[in-house]
Structure 1
Amino acid sequence: MIEEKNLNLNQEMFQILIKSSSEGILAFDTGLKLTVWNKTMEEKTGKKAEECLGKFIFDVLPHLFPEETGKKFFETLKGKNSISQNGIFISGELGQNISYDAKYFPIKSGEEVEGGLVIINEVTESNSVKKQLDLLEQTIKTAFDSTPYDYWLLDAEGKFILQNNHSIQNFGDLKGKYFKDLTISPEFPTKWKTDFEKLRKGETVTREQNVFINQEEKHFYTIITPVKQNQEVMAIVGLSIDITERIKNDNIRLRNELELKTLLENSPDIIARLDLDLKITYINRTIGKISSSQPSSFIGKTYLELGMDPQEYEIFEKQARTSIKEKTPLEFENDYKSRQGIISFSIRLTPEFSSTGEVCSVLMISRETTGLEKVRNQLLENQNRLSSIMSNIPGVVFKCKNDPNWTMEFISDGVKQLTGYEVNELLYNNVLSYQKLIHPADRARLWEEVQSATDSDGNYLVEYRIITKEGKIKWVWEQGRLVNNGGFSGSLEGVMIDITERKDFEEALKKSESELKKTNAELEAYIYKASHDLRGPLASIIGLTMVAEMEIKEDQTLQFIKLIRNRTERLNDTLTNLLDLAKIKQKVLEPEHIIAEDLVNEIIDGLTNKSGLSNIEFHKNLPFKDFFYDPFILTSILHNLIENSIDFKQSVESPRISISMSNEADGIRIDIEDNGIGIGEDIRDKIFTMFYRGHDKSTGSGLGLYIVKSSVDKVGGTIDVKSEPNKGSRFSIFLPCIDNNQSETIHRQ
């Protein structure tokens, strides 16, 4: 570079420097006309000195005329020293713009400025290189930060001086820390000490390392290499690649290979791999079924070399060659002579292909079929037996999809008799779906009942109507269960039975029952009316006999009158019982307030005309004073049971009757116990029968205990009898509550 000082153009040395300079040099006078244009300017611009000298500088280089550049020329002529300008452009020989840095110097003679000198350095190439270097630096930085691997740089002492983003995410910001101080695993410090010694010697280290990051174990493959200058290690560069997924996949592959090997070795079939010469390259240990030799003794040999019959091997070889040639699996049967005799095999050959798509080996699976024919015959026999059973079942066996069409997947031949349709018409809805056979009024109900039942325990039982092919309506009883066959809705398996006759009988029975109820109601009404109408005349007869007894003195006539009165009173009692029975049947239960002791006393007082009442000892146990119940029902029960105990007392012992009433959960307990003659076991089941009299002492109508049973049944209660001849009887009755009031009252008391 020419030193900055006032230059004298008349000096010969200066002229030589201008001509030989690698820098572009031009000079101009005070009129801005060119006085110097050196070789370098000629080379850069393509303009010769003869063309430029003496010409106005802005005519030669018109692009220099902009205000900034022009200003530099004028300032130079004013005498300013060493003016610099960066980034001026001069058109080159090929028309391209070339970038320059320029320095302007004034040319003086004494103190007077005579012109100016411009020294121009080309910077186009250096700027381009700089841009490329900047771009390369940015590219490297971007790649460094965006790569999915961990990059890091250590100084010669093992201290972190740089990490990429991925490394920071995995291990945190380690800048300024020493590699040896990392706590990624217990054995790491010892390993790093060994590795660091190798790196200081200029060796590259590779290692697989297990690291725990956020309590998760990861595997890394790490490459660490030294950066050397003049054989001296200046820095250490590291690259860590996360190979966790690869390790996992390797473990899965190894496990799969182990499982496959276990499966192959324990398969009941003989599995072998043959090369293209049909030599065995692998065979599992199941070969022990036909040979005492170890599997290893089969490797590298053909079945012919291992002793297979030549004719059998010829069949086998033909099939194997065909499978290889046509690149397709083949199955065939073959026999093998072993130490146990002839063994039959079903053989499947499957070609295996290389990465180029060519057959490279054949996988052979051999399954013993020696006893297969016997099994087939047994299966056929079982199938025939099952078909015979199903054809004799009084109904239809089926399997259908659990869909709105009840799509039949199997249905037995009995469907023809039930519906009139053939099996193939209903299978898979070929002609029509089973849903179309179901009576329209029953379709929605049937679907809801089946879905509800199968949602709970999988079993269902339904009855519905179908319309047969002939248009008849039949009733069907169907029982089945839901079978989950891997689909979303599963299938239904079950049996259908024609119950049309049963339904017709039930309908007739309902009609008969209705008519019987009507007849019974009419009969009860007649009995009630007849009993009621007869009581008036009977009362008159009883009254007349009582008058006659007072007037007539003749003994024989009086005896007849008493007899007539006695028979009339018995008839009146029977009519009274019949009236009570009719009332019970027609009664609407109406609970009323009852005082327990008053009710019992009233009933006993009403029986004062019974013979022998005076010497009976009554025991009353009434723990609660009052309650609500229907008084007619309660009176009928107590009256008839107490009267029954009076009628069948014993004369030998002092007669005793115990009456007990107590409250229980949701009802009343009544116990009537006596020490009378008792009831024999042979008649105990008959005592509640209408008009039954089980003892020669009985003088009643045979309706008392029947009325008790009817009263208990009316309220839904229970009655229990314990009795022993000559020791007495105990009647235990439970009467449930007949409304909320009564229940609350009982519990309150």
Structure 2
Amino acid sequence: MTERESIVGKSIFDVFPENPENHDSSATSKLRRSLEQVFATGKPHQIKSFRYDIPDPERSGIFLERFWCTTNTPVIAENGNVIYIIHETTNISDEVKAREQLNESKERERQALAQAEQQRIRLERLLEQAPAAFAMLEGPAFTYSVLNNAYQQLFPGRELVGLPLFDALPELRNQVVYDIIHNVYNTGETFEGKEVLIPVARYKDQPLEEIYWNFIYQALYDADGKVTGILIFALDVTEFLVARRQVEKTASALQDLNRKLEERVEDRTKELRVAQADALNKKQQLESLFMQAPSAICILDGPDHIYQLVNPVYQKIFPGRELLGKPLLEALPELENSTIPEILKMVYQAGETYVAGELPLMLARHEGGPLEQIYWSFTYQPRHNGEGKVDGILVFAHEVTNQVEVRKTIESSAQQLRLVTDSLPVLISYLNKEEKYKFANRAYESWFNMKVEDVLDKTALEVVGVKAYDKAKAYIKRALAGEQVNYETAMPYPSGVRYTNTSFVPDVRDGEVAGFYALISDVTEQVESRMALERREQEAKAMAEKLAKANQRLMQTNNDLDNFIYTASHDLKAPISNIEMLVEELLVELPAESLDQKEVSTIINMIRGAIGRFKKTISSLTEITKLQKDNRETLATVSIADVVSEVVLDLDKLIEKTGTQIEIAVGDCTTASFSEKNLRSIIYNLLSNAIKYRHPAKEPRVTVSCEIKQDYLLVQVQDNGLGIGSKQQARLFTMFRRFHDHVEGSGVGLYMVKRIIDNAGGKIEVSSEEGVGSIFRVYIPLS
């Protein structure tokens, strides 16, 4: 909200001053420290997220709240000094507020779940106090999860809770209930048994008793309409059955038996009245539970589907309409031409539950208001009366309009993401845990001569070929085990050998790896350039050994190498900068909601990571060029202790993060006649490597020491890290050579250290053992 002409030439802190109303703000100090750090170190610095309010141009003295992601990048002159800073900033206020809203939504969800749990506990208490025997079995094993005292009293000497039905009561396996209960679970059809003889033992290891039962097996469903268990209502009617048979056998005792039966009927009548009162109480409590439920619930009574109960959540969907006591089509007449009347008729007549997902309906939220398309996911469950006949329908409804619209937006964003990934000259894909491609960009068509549509659902072996798959399968296995993998190798694809830089990023969902993202760059030109450079170095060394008089020719070859590196690093900067700018411009065009998607964010981070590594390689080539073009640094008297302390201070965050113990013992080596910049580069590279390549099972310890040894000043850096094998030590100081891929690096640090020491007439030695640690010895000439 500024004009270019009004801010050019002014200090950034004058144009954007501190908001005096934001008492906790440290925005200007954060930005100032970032700029000062870039000037001091010559390295880019990023503030990922911070609040920095800006003045409102239309209201003097008023500030607008903003959150930013800022990157400060130095522009370095040929003398190594920072002359400008490229200041890039992105407004992320909407993202920050979206995260805050998400946290608030999660809190509301947590409260709703707690309320639902409270209602569940209340219902369990009601069932526990019920006079009828009640039990709940879960899963296909019919495990006792809930039972009330009345049920437990039927088997006073047996353990039931937590045991499968046929483990707790094994004598039931060969009886009729075995087939009955499996049929209820598999079909969902309720079974009602009357006076069924089921011999069981009331006490464990006791003889079976012939017991007659009245019982009901009713299926339990989850939210998706799937049967998850069985609800049992049971009554021991042995006494009643024996009494009735006794009446039939003993006519002479009929009068007396009738009297006893009348007394018993009277008692039962009293019990029935109590049970009816209790049932009415439970019905009222159940209605109260429905009214307090966080989901939309209503009960439609009779064949005309009259609203008998409407809870507040359901009524809130239609805030301006009167529903209770009206038939459905009278309350919502716009449903008459929809599929809803036929669905309700089917549920009412067939007595079968109906589940719908994301069904669009044209409805008016207010009486006489405009119709709008509302998406619903709902369940229609028939309600049965005491005779088992359907007399109403229980409705559980969820409005999912927002979810459907979000999904459509995501699908649109996915199409835009496809356009972005298809425009990049790298392979981008996603493979599931069966190693089958579920996403691939258009680059696959030029690499493997097949359409993207033909790549999908094929395995990696089928796409890349046997030879290339054999080289990649170990890395794929590590990615599917949850490890992020980065490697560079030559891949023998069917179309020819390509040198590739590959990143595999695992897709972890709920603690399990569902697949992995793959980002593959063709680095054949860079590798071939590096190999050519290595060949030229080897040829130069062989020539130096055989032809001592060819020094002038060797110097010319080195100059050619320097020019090659300089040209390569210079010519590669423009393409990678163009790719980076193209990616950032595309990200600006993408909608914010698509950037919040996990898959989009992961692929973008992979692209940025690949660009960053490419830029770092170019930067390393530039540093090597500087080193080789200017190998005669001005000598000065340098304090060894001061240089070591400054390097330790620069690495303070890494040291603190890794818990590394640093010991400095420079002894009598107070000063040295050496280039301060070069000495600092040597100490920094050796000390940072000792920390980065620490042993994961040890507390990292690094010792920096110094002593006078003959004609040299010996600086020694010793660690207890991963160590280096004897075969690897021979190639340790080769350009771009790395032996560990689990940490970032370009493979030029030790190469530059050796070049500095060689140029100064010194030498460097290394002693190392895998798993024990390493010692680097740098010999600096005293004269």
TM range (shorter): 0.3 to 0.5
TM-score, normalised on structure 2?
Answer: 0.32
TM-score, normalised on structure 1?
Answer: 0.33
- Bigger radius of gyration among the two: 1
